[in-house]
Every structure is written in structure tokens, then in C-alpha cells.
Amino acid sequence: MIPIVENRYHTYTENTDVAGIKASREHRAIGGFSMGAVTTWYALEHTLDCFKYFMPISSDGWSLGRFAGMTHPTETAEHFANTIRSSALSKNDFYIWACRGTSDEVNSCI
């Protein structure tokens, strides 16, 4: 979807091939609420080199199974940490703002 949108509208992407999308990642964010947050965690896991900013809201990561963020939070957090560690990015090359509401299972922001 990124190539379609960024080819049609003026963005920081100079070229919509894979190299161009990765080169312009500092100008791209992804976020979502509920299932959109699950999708955001999947984007972090599979396309970290295409986005700099991630904002999952009111959901957990399902990379280790449905509701694994709730039932296996330590393992899920370690999975995402390992994903980031195995990338070529430094700690300043990405930003995660994750939040849950007061009626959610956990009330916190990280």
C-alpha cells in the first residue's frame, strides 16, 4: 500500500521501490487501536525498516499467538526486543508509544 499512496501523493519518498521506502522511513508512522494495534505490532516485527514511529493502542501483540501479549507478556516483550536487536537499527532509529486505557486489562503507557 505504501508504494501506491506515496507514488500518488507528495511525500518524502523519492522512489517507491523497497530501497526508497526504507530510505524515507524516518517520515513514516503506523498506529492503530485494538486490532489496528495488533497490526502495528506485526508491522514492527516484519517491516521495522519501513517505519520509524509505532503507536499501538489498546491491544497486545499476537506474534506468539492470539492474546499472547496478555497471557505471555514477558515472552512477547522479549520477542519484540529480539526483533529490534537483530535489526541494523540503533536505539534512536525507532520510537514506540504504546498505551492502554483505564478499562483495558492493563492501564499503562510505555
Q: Is the pTM of this model over 0.75?
A: yes
Please state the φ and ψ torsions of residue 95, each to the nearest 5 degrees: -145, 130
- Domain residues for the domain of 52 are 25-110
Q: Say if 72 falls within a structural domain.
A: yes
Which residues does residue 95 pair with via DSSP β-bridges, in sequence order? 53
Residue 108 lies in a domain: yes
As a whole number of angstroms, the distance between CA 47 and CA 87 comes to: 10
Dihedral of alpha carbons 56, 90, 110, 75, sign: positive
Domains held by the chain: number = 1
Going by pLDDT thresholds of 50, 70 and 90, the confidence category of residue 105 is low
* Calpha distance 110→6 (Å, rounded): 30
Segment 64-102, tens digit of pLDDT: 999 998 899 999 999 999 999 999 999 899 999 998 776
Give the pLDDT confidence score for residue 107 in this predicted structure.
47
Query: For 27-57, how does the pLDDT look when each residue is reduced to its tens digit (9 = 90+)?
Result: 999 999 999 999 999 999 999 999 999 999 9
100 located within any domain: yes
AA letter at 41: W
